[in-house]
Structure 1
Amino acid sequence: MNVIFFLTPKNEVIYETPDSTMRQALERMEYHRYSAIPLIDGKGKYVGTITEGDLLWKLKNTPDLNFMNTSKILLKDVPRHADNVPVSIDSNIGDLIYSAINQNFVPVVDDQGIFIGIIKRSDIINYCYESLYGKREENSVIFK
């Protein structure tokens, strides 16, 4: 099985650029209820992941920074504590699962490092569950 089976393509992914502002990222993450989103540069390359924690630490550690003036801080100036490690489009499922252990999503890039989408950990877990136990039932106690 190829990792493309799980791919959410770039045009369906919420992301920001390093030149976006903290405020843009905060508002987008709040609206979509995400705790982390990919950062994609102007050439389409994956450059990292910005998390709620990164934004919170920047806010805490910058004197006089408050929500109102977060529009003056670019994401490229926000220290990132961890980046989601991308996989290549031709990676095997073992690499994908290993990457997803500690990441909510796994960025997928082509041979030139161009971002083509993400694979959500929840999609991998759902696939594994259905492979082991069959299709889940919506009124199951586990899934309420």
Structure 2
Amino acid sequence: NISVMQIVRKRDNKAVHANVDMEGLLERVMRQNFVPVVDDEKTFIGIVTRKDVILYLMKELEKREKENT
């Protein structure tokens, strides 16, 4: 039998503050597949994935394209 601890690879995914700007989030998500988000007390709030960021940017691009037509 194999325990979960034998499978899981530990990785230091650095968190961002909930107030981070898109540039800061992009810098982190380029290096990490997901980014933990914390509040002022460094309490975990949630996770932003690379896919979340890509989908957001695609929607923003579509919105701007519609505004320019």
Q: TM-score, normalising length from structure 1?
A: 0.37
How big is the alpha-carbon RMSD for the aligned residues of Structure 1 and Structure 2? 2.3
Alpha-carbon distance in structure 2 between the residues aligned to 1:104 and 1:79 = 14
- Which protein has the bigger helix share? 2
* 1:100 to 2:26 alignment: no
Deviation at 1:84, TM superposition (A): 1.1
Deviation at 1:130, TM superposition (A): 2.3
Gaps of 5+ in 1: 1-67, 136-144
Deviation at 1:79, TM superposition (A): 6.5
Q: TM-score, normalising length from structure 2?
A: 0.71
Larger radius of gyration: 1
Alpha-carbon distance in structure 2 between the residues aligned to 1:116 and 1:101 = 20
In structure 2, the partner of 1:28 is none
Runs of 4+ in structure 1 off by over 2 angstroms are none
- If asked which structure has higher relative contact order (CA below 8 Å, sep 6+), I would say 1
* 1:70 to 2:3 alignment: yes
Alpha-carbon distance in structure 1 between the residues aligned to 2:18 and 2:59 = 23
In structure 1, the partner of 2:19 is 90
